[in-house]
Amino acid sequence: MTSNVAHINECLDGGNRECVMTELGIRFHEWFTNTCRPSSTTRPGAMCLICDINEYRKCVRELKSNLVNTLFDTLHSLCNLLLVKPENLDQVRSGEHLAALDSSILLNFIQLRSDYKSQKIASFLRGITA
């Protein structure tokens, strides 16, 4: 991505550069969420996913787009829902990046946990309905 960003910076300026960088970041985010979203994940799998997202977050910082940074920060926060202890889910989901999300998005993501049924995680969630 670095060479693409450098090329865009050479060829464009001002609002054009900002629009291209934001569009590139949005499309990258869409690709990632549509392609790499697990159907179910274990704790080690979630840890790998968070590591990957951290690397992608470093890459998209080069785009200098607040919107794209927020998208990847929110994705990182969603992945934290796959790792935290069930009793801490309410605290994590009310954090900065997740508080404004629709509860159905949060629930769909939480249900990706491999321990969702076995740990009766639904009983730890307050105010989330499908």
pLDDT value, residue 123: 82
Helix locations, 36-128, DSSP H: 43-61, 66-80, 89-93, 103-110
Position of tokens 């450098």?
6
pLDDT value, residue 25: 95
Reported as a pLDDT band with limits 50, 70 and 90, residue 129 is low
What pTM value is reported for the model?
0.85
The residues, ordered by sequence, that sit 6+ positions from 43 with a Cβ below 8 Å of its Cβ are 82, 83, 114, 115
The whole-number average pLDDT for the span 14-29 is 94
Element (H, E) at 19: helix 14-35
User: How far is Cα 105 from Cα 93, in angstroms, rounded to an integer?
Assistant: 11
Per-residue model confidence as pLDDT tens digits over 37-94: 767 888 898 899 999 999 999 999 999 999 999 999 999 999 999 999 988 888 888 8
pLDDT value, residue 128: 67
Structure tokens at 73: 């920060």
Q: Please determine, for residue 35, whether its predicted confidence score (pLDDT) is greater than 80.
A: yes
User: How far is Cα 10 from Cα 107, in angstroms, rounded to an integer?
Assistant: 43
Output phi, psi for 41, to 5 deg.
-145, 145
Per-residue model confidence as pLDDT tens digits over 90-119: 888 888 889 889 888 888 888 998 888 888
